[in-house]
């Protein structure tokens, strides 16, 4: 089993204090006795700064996106090698905001997963259904298709390096987190899908929950051993809230 993984996705935001101060204050709040992995995912221009700030702490660095090509005429894009050189260990891929606002397809997401693995970075592959899909009873179908398409063509050894993040679209930024039952149901499906397709042992599949995770609901979510951590948006820029989410893993 892994320690729980808590990822703070800053999205296109920065803390109200300087990043150095934010990271230093967060580090002070995180007890060394709690076995938890904390990852910060700032916007691209802050990766270097946050990378320096986390050096000497137990935190690590993630990027929020990547392009699959190595280099060339791809205006606005960033390669896996570039992220690696900035000290990233993880890369978020297929976040629903990227799928919805930027039209990322499962095929593109799959190329990104492969590019990230190629650079010895760890992908965090996001999947999740919209409210309409849930209401139409399509949750399992949608999540299964996204999971299989995102990981298509990967060998077992590579799939074992991927963290999945179940983020129901209706729970993101709405203050309406999934219930433990809803999260467990989909985590169970994702785990079963990976076990079936790649014969992975269930305890070696890491699945995060994301969508309105807060200091208040994290403790309840983490009572479930199906939920191996959280992908946190809004609350990760609030020191008290993020520290409380991290402490809830104990």
φ, ψ of residue 44 in degrees (nearest 5): -45, -50
SS3 9: strand
Residue from 99, 39, 38 nearest 65 by CA = 99
Q: How far is the CB of 19 from ligand 13P (least distance, A)?
A: 19
Q: What are residue 164's DSSP bridge partners? A: 125, 207
Instruction: Assess 63 for contact with ligand 13P (CB under 6 A).
Output: no
Residue 95 appears among annotated catalytic residues: yes
Question: In the set 233, 237, 246, 248, which binds ligand 13P (CB under 6 A)?
Answer: 233
Q: How far is the CB of 217 from ligand 13P (least distance, A)?
A: 10
36 token code pair: 């938890």
Residue recorded with tokens 């467990």: 184
Instruction: Assess 231 for contact with ligand 13P (CB under 6 A).
Output: yes
Question: In the set 117, 172, 205, 241, which binds ligand 13P (CB under 6 A)?
Answer: 172
Instruction: Assess 213 for contact with ligand 13P (CB under 6 A).
Output: yes
By CB under 6 A, what part of segment 126-145 binds ligand 13P? Answer: none
Question: In the set 117, 210, 237, 248, which binds ligand 13P (CB under 6 A)?
Answer: 210
Q: Which stretch binds ligand 13P (CB under 6 A): 19-27, 70-78, 217-225, 229-237?
A: 229-237
Give the burial string for 94-128 (b: 16+ CB within 10 Å, else e): bbbbbbeeeebebebbbbbbbbbbebebbbbbbbb
The DSSP element (H or E) to which 6 belongs, if any, is strand 4-9
Neighbours of 243 (CB within 10 A): 19
Q: How far is the CB of 172 from ligand 13P (least distance, A)?
A: 4
Question: In the set 6, 9, 170, 217, which binds ligand 13P (CB under 6 A)?
Answer: 9
> 95, 97, 104, 129: which one is catalytic?
95
Q: What are residue 218's DSSP bridge partners? A: none
Catalytic residues: 95, 167
In the complex, the residues that contact ligand 13P under the rule CB under 6 A are 9, 95, 167, 172-173, 210-213, 231-235
């Amino acid at each position: 089993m892994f320690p729980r993984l808590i990822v703070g996705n800053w999205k296109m935001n920065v803390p109200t204090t300087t990043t150095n101060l934010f990271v230093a204050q967060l580090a002070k709040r995180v007890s060394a006795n709690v076995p938890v992995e904390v990852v910060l995912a700032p916007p691209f221009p802050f990766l270097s700064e946050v990378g320096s700030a986390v050096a000497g702490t137990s935190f690590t660095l993630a990027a929020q996106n990547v392009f699959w090509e190595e280099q060339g005429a791809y205006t606005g894009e960033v390669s896996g090698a570039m992220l690696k050189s900035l000290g990233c260990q993880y890369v978020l891929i297929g976040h629903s905001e990227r799928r919805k606002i930027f039209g990322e397809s499962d095929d593109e997401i799959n190329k990104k997963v492969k590019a990230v693995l190629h650079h010895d970075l760890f992908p965090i592959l996001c999947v999740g259904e919209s409210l309409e899909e849930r209401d139409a009873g399509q949750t399992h179908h949608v999540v299964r298709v996204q999971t299989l398409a995102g990981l298509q063509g990967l060998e077992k050894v590579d799939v074992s390096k991927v963290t999945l993040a179940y983020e129901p679209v209706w729970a993101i930024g709405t203050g309406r987190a999934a219930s433990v039952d809803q999260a467990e149901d989909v985590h169970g499906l994702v785990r079963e899908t990976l076990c079936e397709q790649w014969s992975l042992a269930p305890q070696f599949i890491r699945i995060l929950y994301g969508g309105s995770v807060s200091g208040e609901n994290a403790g309840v979510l983490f009572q479930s051993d199906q939920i191996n951590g959280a992908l946190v948006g809004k609350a990760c820029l609030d020191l008290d809230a993020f520290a409380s989410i991290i402490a809830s893993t104990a």
